[in-house]
Amino acid sequence: MSDRETLSVYTEAAALYADGHADTRDIEQQNDIAALLADVPEGGHILDLGCGPGQWAVQFRDLGYRVTARDATPAMAELALEKYGLKVEVQTFDAFDDIARFHAIWANFSLLHAPKADFPGHLARLHRALTPNGALHLGMKLGTGEARDSLGRFYSYYQEDELVQLVTEAGFTVTRTRRGNGEGLAGGVETFVILTATARTDG
């Protein structure tokens, strides 16, 4: 993510987001974690891409996995360090250049801030960053087109079949999907989709 207005919103609302919208008690999200970890070896290396204040990265860490946490917002990195002792690498999506480094990538409602034109390139980078048969968790909002919310954050919206096609074309096999509804930082309730996928070795 490199959109300045979106980054500014998260910078200003970092503490509020961490306190009210980074709740790890959601049962369905715990099931999403279990689905991802089913394909990750014990002690494997997991990337939390767009980790926010670190609530998911610290769960992976506490379960015994090696964790790399990244976010584009320095204020989120500071919160993660303060709250969890978690060191976060401050990096935008387009600076992502790892090769076969991670057993799994947790991209939980982070890539939805990337322009649609850039999305295939981001998926290709995620595929390159995974070890063979590595696992991907992807959370995105359902809809069409691109827009800013009432806070000024940039979003790209997808239909579920459109998202599955893009992920498949990037070299992944989608193994699980689920839909849900949730209230975000802007206050509105929106529908989202979660995809779990495996990186094909021929992709």
Tokens of 157: 């919206």
- The tens digit of pLDDT for each residue in 105-163 reads 999 999 988 999 999 999 999 999 999 999 999 999 999 999 887 687 888 999 999 99
Tokens of 103: 């057993």
Query: 4-199 has which CATH code?
Result: 3.40.50.150
Residue with the larger pLDDT of the pair 53 and 103 = 103
- The tens digit of pLDDT for each residue in 58-83 reads 999 999 999 999 998 888 899 899 98
Half-sphere exposure of 8 (CA within 13 A, CB side): 7
Q: For the chain, what are the domain ranges?
A: 4-199
**In whole angstroms, how far apart are CA 120 and each of 37, 166, 170?**
24, 7, 7
Q: For residues 168 and 180, what is the distance between their CA atoms, to the nearest angstrom?
A: 22
Write the burial class of residue 64 (CB in 10 Å: 0-12 exposed, 13-18 middle, 19+ buried): exposed
- The tens digit of pLDDT for each residue in 10-62 reads 556 545 555 555 555 566 889 999 999 998 999 999 999 999 889 999 999 99
pTM: 0.88
